Amino acid sequence: MSRADLHMHSTVSDGGYDVPALIKKCAEAGLTVISLTDHDSTDGVETAEKMAEFYGIKLISGIELSTRFHGQSVDILGYGIDICHPFLQEKLQFHRGKRIDRMQKMINLCQETGLEVTFEEVEKEVTGVTFSRPHLANVLIKKDYGTTVQDIFNKYIGYGKPCYVHKEDEMSPEEAMEIIHLSGGVAVAAHPVYYDIDEHLTSWLKEKKLDGVEVYHRDHDEKNRKRFNKLVSEAEKSTGIKFFRTGGTDFHHESYGRSGEIIGGALLPYEEAVFLQTYLSSR
């Protein structure tokens, strides 16, 4: 049976496998349509394309952009983007710099909390170009402050925890959608169960700013899959437009300690992935 996973991360951002190893795992899991969606970076896409071709997998170029909306982080996925688009790359470079500033502030808070960690130690964990919280978590795990990335998030660096800092000058969701569209892609709201912005998702769909919703994220139970399917369906009835329903495991690494984070375990209906891939190929 053909399977798809449209949300995963490599060591280019905060994943645990480099791109060749990640695509190999996808092949071993029987995936036939995938997308590499690293945070604020497309550096792994070219290699992913070559590896996917080697294994006979269809790869959709992707990215996950970090935004801020009404005081909370909201991620926007971009699919089918031109990874060489100069405006896209300019924006990515700016926001990766803001990630570095944020990391230093989080490390300072860790030190004030009594956790022994330095910027240099975290920097050694960064194998790509994007500083992310799992890199800090990995250092803290090595120092026995926790057992898994999720454990460290729950104790120290998750939203609302003592060492959490949000990124400054983050783009808005609408800015992210515009960047994705300008670079030739389609914009999809990532894991909407993490937010409480259903009315805004509906508005963005109706206003043609958003092209779809990640209905089948690993953290969406049946109730929430039905919830977001209904949201998309109602927007379709209102506009007459067919929107994209995407999904994936949001895979980083098995050791991160998060339920459902296993390559090959995505609940995304295969026909939804084919619909996206066919649309992007036909343009």
Q: pLDDT per residue over 133-181, tens digit each? A: 999 999 999 999 999 999 999 999 999 999 999 888 899 999 999 999 9
Give the domain 3-84+171-281 fold: TIM Barrel (3.20.20)
Query: Would you say residue 16 has pLDDT above 80?
Result: yes
Domains 3-84+171-281 and 93-157 share a fold: no
Predicted local distance difference test score (pLDDT) of residue 154: 96
Write out the two tokens for 171: 């783009």
Are residues 7 and 246 in contact, defined by beta-carbon separation less than 8 angstroms?
A: yes
CATH number 1.10.3470 given to 93-157: no
**Tokens 């660096």 map to which residue?**
157
How much is the pLDDT for 258? 84
Model confidence, pTM: 0.91
Asked whether the predicted pLDDT for residue 58 surpasses 90, the reply is yes
Residue 282 amino acid letter: S
pLDDT (tens digit per residue) in 82-122: 999 999 999 999 999 999 999 999 999 999 999 999 999 99
Distance of CA 133 to the CA centre of its chain: 13
Task: Please compute the mean of the pLDDT values over residues 9-26 and round it to a whole number.
Answer: 97
What are the structural domain ranges in the chain? 3-84+171-281, 93-157
Q: Is 83 exposed, middle or buried (0-12, 13-18, 19+ CB in 10 A)?
A: buried
